[in-house]
A and B are shown apart, each in its own frame.
Chain A
Amino acid sequence: MWRPRIVAFFCKWCAGAAAEAAGVSRMHYDPSVIPIIVPCTGRVSPEMVMHAFLNGADGVLIGGCHTPNDCHYIAGNFKAFKRIYMLRKLLQQAGIEPERLRIEWISATEAVKLVRVVNEFSETIRRLGPLGGKHA
C-alpha cells in the first residue's frame, strides 16, 4: 500500500524543540514525516523544497517560530513565509496542488499543536495521492 512521504523542515529553536518535546512526552504522530532540523526556517531555500519534491517527497512541511517576535534570528521566519508563499503560487500555476507545501508556526512548548499539524498534513497528502517522485 502506498504511504505518503513527507519531509519536514523544523527550525532548531521552535518547531524542532516542539518535536523533541512531543517525543519526550510520548505523543504519537504520523510516521510518514521525516523531520530535518535546520538552524532557522529562513535557511530553507526554494531549491531545498523543490529538491525534496523531486526526490520522492509527496509533501513538504515547514515549521518555524511564531511571528512577529519569536524568531531567534529576528526576521528569518518572515523570509521563510515569503519564500513559501511565492513557491505555493508557483506550484499552483504549474498545476501542482499548493496544499503539498505548508508552513506553520509552532513554538517550543506547542508539542500538541505539532502533533495536530503533522497528522492533519499527512491526512491531506493521503487525500491528494502520490506526486510521482522516485520512491527508494
Chain B
Amino acid sequence: MLKLAVIPGAICGGCDVALASVGEDLLKLLKYYEIVYWPTVIDRRMSELEDIDIIDVLIYMGGISTKHELENAKKLSAKSRIKVAFGTCSVYGGIPGFNTLYSPLEVENFIKRQSTMHLQQDRFGLPEVVEYMAYTDVIEPEILIPGCPPTEKVLDQFVKILIDYAQSRRLQGRHILLGDPESLCRSCPRKPKDMSKIVMPGIKRLYEVKLDETKCFLEQGVLCMGPATRAICNHSCIANNFPCYGCGGPVEINSDSGLAMLSALSSLFMVDKEKSLMETGLARELDKVADPIGYFFKYTLPKSYLSRIIKMRKGEKSAR
C-alpha cells in the first residue's frame, strides 16, 4: 500500500470538498493507497504523520500564510516522493495572493483590527504571519492542479495519474500541469465563427447589459478571462452565463495570465472605432476597468511579474 496524505495550508475548504466529491473514484484509489492524513475525511493526528518515514503522495492544498504552514510544508514535502500542488492557491497563489501587495506586518495588524475581542486581547495568540506565498514558491511539486476548486475534468486526469503511478511506480514526465494546453476560448461553446473578428464594444459591468446566451462575452462588452486562461474545466461558468474569472491560471506554467489578458483586451477593445476615438476618449473608455490588479490578477498575483516588481521595489526602499 502506498501512503497518501492531504495537507491543508491556507485554504477556504473548497479544495477539500472538490477532492472528496470525486466520489466513487476515490474508492478505486483505496485499492492502492492508504490515506494517512486528511483532516476532513479521516481521524488521524499530525503526530502520527510525523512518525511515518516516507509519504508516497502528498497533496498540498492552499497557499502558505503563517510560519507554521511554511514549516509544515517544508518538513512534510522533504519526505514525500510525489508532491501535488492542489488548487490555484497552491499553484499560483490564488485570491489570498493579494496579500503580497502588503507587508506581513500590515496583514497582521489588519487581522487584529478586524477580528473579535478575544483576538484583540491576544488571549489565544495569533499564528505568526509570513509573507504570503504559493506552495510552488517553496517546493517544486511533480503534479500541478490548477482550478478554484479543481474541476471534474482535471480531477479525472488526476485520479488516472494516481492509479497509473500506483501500478507502474513511474510518472509520465516531470512537473505535470493538468488541464489541456490551450486557452479556454478554443473549446468555448460561445466561440464566434471567426475569432479574429471579435470587437469589444466598450466595457460594461454585468448589470448594465442583458446578455445574449449564445454570443461571446467579449463581443458584448463583458470582460472574460477566457483568452488567457488554461482549459481546465468544461466551461461550467460560461455555460451558466457567467464570464470566466481566470481561476485556471495561465495557459503555460511560466507565463503571466494577467498581462496576457491585458494584451488581449487591448487587441480587441473598440478596434473598429479606435481611429475616431483616439483624440476624444479611448482612454476614458479604458478607465472603465476600475480595478486592474483585482481583475487581471485575481488568482495569479504572487506569480506575476507585477508582484516581483513590487517585491523588488520594497527591497530598494528598505535598502535606502
Contact = CB atoms under 8 A, between A and B. Distances in A.
Interface in A52-110: 53-54, 67-68, 75, 78-79, 81-83, 85-87, 89-90, 93-96
B26 interface: no
B306 A94 contact: yes
Interface in B280-296: 282-283, 286-287, 289, 291-293, 296
Contact of B283 (A45, A85, A93, A133): A85
Contact of A132 (B262, B265, B275, B316): B316
Given A54-B312, A131-B312, A89 B292 contact: yes
B225 to A, nearest CB: 15
Contact of A86 (B256, B265, B310): B265
Contacts of B316: 130-132
A-side binding surface: helix, strand, loop or mixed?
helix
B312 A132 contact: yes
A90 B312 contact: no
Contacts of B286: 82, 85-86, 89
A31 interface: no
Interface string B22-58: 0000000000000000000000000000000000000
Nearest to A51: B305
A46 interface: yes
Contacts of B274: 75, 78, 82
A36 interface: no
Interface residues of B, number: 36
Counting contact residues on chain A (CB < 8 A from B), the size range is: 20 to 34
A132 B311 CA distance: 9
Nearest to B296: A90
A53 B309 contact: yes
B313 interface: yes
B309 A47 contact: no
Contact of A47 (B259, B269, B292, B296): B259
A50 interface: yes
Interface string B250-268: 0000011001101101110
A96 B292 contact: no
B157 to A, nearest CB: 28
Query: Which of B265, B313, B319 gathers most chain A CB within 10 Å?
Result: B313
A50 B265 CA distance: 17
A46 B310 contact: no
B306 A78 contact: no
A85 B285 CA distance: 11
A86 B262 contact: yes
B117 interface: no
A68 B275 contact: yes
Contacts of B292: 86, 89-90, 93
B278 interface: yes
Interface string B296-320: 1000000001101110110111010
Interface centre among B256, B262, B265, B275 (most CB of A within 10 A): B262
Given A45-B263, A81-B278, A96-B313, 6 more contacts: A47-B259, A47-B260, A85-B283, A86-B286, A132-B313, A132-B316
18 contacts: A45-B259, A47-B256, A50-B256, A54-B308, A78-B278, A81-B282, A82-B265, A82-B269, A82-B282, A85-B283, A86-B265, A86-B292, A87-B262, A89-B289, A95-B310, A131-B313, A132-B315, A133-B312
Lowest 7 A-B CB distances belong to which pairs? A132-B316, A50-B305, A82-B266, A46-B259, A78-B274, A83-B266, A68-B275
